[in-house]
Homo-oligomer: A and B are copies of this chain.
C-alpha cells in the first residue's frame, strides 16, 4: 500500500506540530476529530481497541498529553475525577462546554463564549475563562 488510502487531516496536524506519525497518535487524533463530544482516556482506549489497535494505557496518557501540549486537543476536568479530551477549536480553547448531568456526556459548544466582562475584585489578572453549562442534553431531555 504505497498510496495512502485516505488523506487524513490527522497526519498533517501531527506533522505540523513537529511530531512523528505513529499508529496510536493518528488513530487517537482521528477518534477525537470524529467525536462530537469530549472523551475520557478510557473511552478513547476502548475505541482504539475496537479498531484493533494495540496500545498501552500509559502510551495513551502520553499521547493525549502531547496533543494537549501541542494545542491540538484540550483537557478538562469533569465532575467525576476523570479528565476528558476533545479537539481544540480554531482559536485557543475559548469555548464553552455543556455537561449533561444525566448521562455525563460533555460536548463542546463552539462559538459560544459569552461576554465574561465580569468585574474582577482588583489585583486579579484574567487569562482565560472556562464556562461549563450543566443540564440535560437533547437525548436525555426527551426522556423526561
Contacts and interface: CB of A to CB of B under 8 A. Distances in A.
Interface of A: 77-79, 81, 83, 96, 98, 101, 109, 112, 114-138, 141
A76 to B, nearest CB: 9
A20 to B, nearest CB: 28
A141 B124 contact: yes
Contact of A134 (B96, B109, B121, B128): B128
Q: Quick one: copies of this chain in the complex?
A: 2
B132 A120 contact: no
Nearest to A122: B138
Nearest to A126: B135
B123 A109 contact: no
A78 to B, nearest CB: 6
A84 to B, nearest CB: 10
Contacts of A135: 124-128
A118 B133 contact: yes
A112 B101 contact: no
Given A77-B78, A78-B77, A127 B123 contact: no
Contacts of A128: 133-135
Nearest to A144: B125
Nearest to A131: B131
5 contacts: A77-B78, A109-B121, A114-B114, A127-B134, A128-B134
